[in-house]
Structure 1
Amino acid sequence: MLKKITVLVVFFAFFLSVVGCKNDVLPKPSSYLRLDYPEAEYIGFKSNCPFEFDVNSKAIVKEDKGCGYSITYPKMKATIYITYKSVNGNINKLLRDAQKLTYEHVIKADDILEQPFINPDKKVYGMFYQVDGNAATNSQFYATDSVKHFVTGSVYFYTKPNFDSIMPAASYVKNDMQRLMETLKWK
């Protein structure tokens, strides 16, 4: 009888040690990948169009119709779209259209920060918009000389807008867009 109890106690102790020494499984909190990008190196971009600017050497520039360009960032799944229009006495309409395009995102945006841009030496005047929140575009700009040339730019990511997850890429591309606007020259 004592032998049965001893075996039973040993078995019970073994069973408790196997079952009782299990670590509790805790769910991991949600997180996003840490995205680090190389420091931007800029090169001058020239074409047959009436303007030129600096572009990130890591980006791919493709000419579209009518002096428009797509500047693609494949690793970030982002594209900056540049559009050119001639000013023919229609500067007010072009300005309204550019501002309307930005403020169509106000429904999803948490905030829209306007940053005026003035470069009297190169005769480039415009506005840079930073759109915070889950809007389709996070940065836009327009630039003009008010007489002949009008350029707009906007960035789009090929993913569902979730500003928290794309913020590092959005910040990187935003800096490239600002550099593009700041180095814009008319021919």
Structure 2
Amino acid sequence: MRLLNVWICISFAAFILACNQPHFSPKPRGYFRIEFPEKQYQTFSSTAPFQFEYPVYANMYPDSSKNAQPNWYNLTFPTFNARLHISYYPIVSQQEFIQLTEDSRKLAFKHTVKATGIDEALITNKQDQVYGIYYTISGNTASANQFFLTDSSRHYLRAALYFNEKPQQDSIQPVIDFIKKDMDKMIKTFKWR
């Protein structure tokens, strides 16, 4: 009986002491606030057979990878850890044009495994002879936006946006939307030379 009384007293004391301790609960995971720079543009004009406007907060430099060809470039967005890969091909035959267009479609639809949707939008600028397709890829895919531009006879350009981190669309969607406006500006100001 005495042992029971001691056990009840210890249990009661532990209960009282436990109630006086501050309660800890973990905070939900949060994401960094993203500061977007003001939209300002500059013209990319080099020896390449094309020109366009791109944002001043991005860096344009020639692609230095081992498979790079002439007039391949990378447009980097250092603040967002993103890169737009730009590949240019001169068209030498109608068969090559068809193959380049099919390759672009395959590269966009290669993301089907992780994509929740792929939308295609036609690009048409008759005045500057710029035509193409813009692919918007939804879901946790490696590339959310891709497009190709061509004059259908001599020039072909393909671009794909990648982030240098594991894709989590819910956390990078504001950045994707922000860069998409820059890509739209690039397409609207695009001209063959």
Q: Find the partner of 1:168 among 154, 169, 174.
A: 174
Q: What is the Cα deviation at residue 28 of structure 1?
A: 1.6
Unaligned ranges ≥5, structure 1: 1-11
Whole-Å separation in 2 of the counterparts to 1:34 and 1:132: 22
Q: What is the Cα deviation at residue 39 of structure 1?
A: 2.2
Match of 1:151 in 2: 157
Is structure 2 residue 29 aligned with structure 1 residue 43? no
Q: Which amino acid aligns with 1:108?
A: K
Match of 2:86 in 1: 82
Match of 1:55 in 2: 54
Match of 2:106 in 1: 100
1:93-115 residue CA offsets vs partner (Å, 9 max, x unmatched): 11101111100011111111111
Is structure 2 residue 132 aligned with structure 1 residue 126? yes
Equivalent residues of 2:37, 2:57 under 8 A apart:
no
**Which deviates the most, 152-161 or 163-172?**
163-172
Match of 1:25 in 2: 24
In percent, how many aligned pairs have the same letter? Answer: 35
Q: Which has the larger radius of gyration?
A: 1
Whole-Å separation in 2 of the counterparts to 1:97 and 1:23: 61
Q: What is the Cα deviation at residue 74 of structure 1?
A: 1.1
> With structure 2 as the length reference, what TM-score do the two structures score?
0.84
**Which deviates the most, 83-92 or 133-142?**
83-92
Whole-Å separation in 1 of the counterparts to 2:33 and 2:103: 37
1:116 is paired with a residue whose SS is strand
Whole-Å separation in 2 of the counterparts to 1:184 and 1:124: 7
**Which deviates the most, 21-30 or 75-84?**
21-30
Equivalent residues of 1:87, 1:149 under 8 A apart:
yes
Q: Which amino acid aligns with 2:51?
A: E
Whole-Å separation in 2 of the counterparts to 1:113 and 1:36: 28
Q: What is the Cα deviation at residue 19 of structure 1?
A: 4.7
1:75 is paired with a residue whose SS is helix
2:80 is paired with a residue whose SS is coil
Q: What is the Cα deviation at residue 21 of structure 1?
A: 3.6
Whole-Å separation in 2 of the counterparts to 1:28 and 1:171: 28
Backbone CA RMSD of aligned residues? 1.8
Q: Which amino acid aligns with 1:138?
A: A
Is structure 2 residue 184 aligned with structure 1 residue 178? yes
